[in-house]
Structure 1
Amino acid sequence: MTVTRAHIGHAPHLLAILWAFTRHTSWLPQVRSRLTDLRVMLKVIRRGWVQVVHDAQGPAGFIARDGERIHALYVHPRARGRGVGRLLLDDAKTCADRLDLWVLQANGPARGFYARHGFAEATRTNGAGNDENLPDIRMVWQATHGEQP
């Protein structure tokens, strides 16, 4: 598996990966329409922020990153536990000495994943600044001298 830059033709597949989580997570409120998700996905792909990993069945995961900020990282349910998320994070780490992201406090699996990959909690909020209005955590990864992902 390799990481490549996403193109517009990937959008339907990447949205299916996104919706596999957002539409099937009972504690997560639905705050955006599918049309809004499509518009945002097309925008971030055009900006060159999205990297994708393929497996034999097609896109298996993606990351949306603008500089140091990771805006999204999602893995298809069929590909979870196979290193797709790690591969996407490792690729991002080769492009920056520091990365940060926001994760919802309720998303324990994601918080654990990021912690295992060197991200540390930096800030907690009550969620007033996110779309879902749920408590969240800003996590930060900082490269150490000579660190390899």
Structure 2
Amino acid sequence: MILYHGSNMIVEHIDLDKSKPNKDFGKGFYLSESERQATEMATFKSLLLGGKPVVTKFEFDDAVMHDSVLRIKVFDNYSEEWADFVFANREGNDAGQYDIVYGPIANDKIGLQIRKLKDGSIDKAEFLNRLKYMKGITFQYFFGTETAVKYLTKL
């Protein structure tokens, strides 16, 4: 399968040390099956940090997701477990060391609901209720270890 990474610079090789902490699934390298989503991320990063939008393609043998010695976590949809995982990672609390995580992106609309949950404006039940009405769910792949990154081939 082809995965896309949106950035404000060309990715010649993946350097996990350049990854930022407090992201949805932790500190790691993020990709999407959606070229459109990666392009939007590249545009956002270039506006925020300078540079030009760049989308880098990678080949990934997704068979490793089903038959692997890697530590893999899959979230098929928004759920309480997903919310707890994202919330913990965004707070800087390592929610579990995984080689690869696949699940929904916590976009701006979801981020707003996470902030409301965090500041006590809504409780977890209301948070999960609001997630049911979110449209256009987009999924992401997280590669959090050097072992996992070896399964990506730059195209």
Query: Please, what TM-score do these two structures have when normalized by structure 2?
Result: 0.27
**Structure number with bigger Rg:** 2
Query: Greater strand share, 1 or 2?
Result: 1
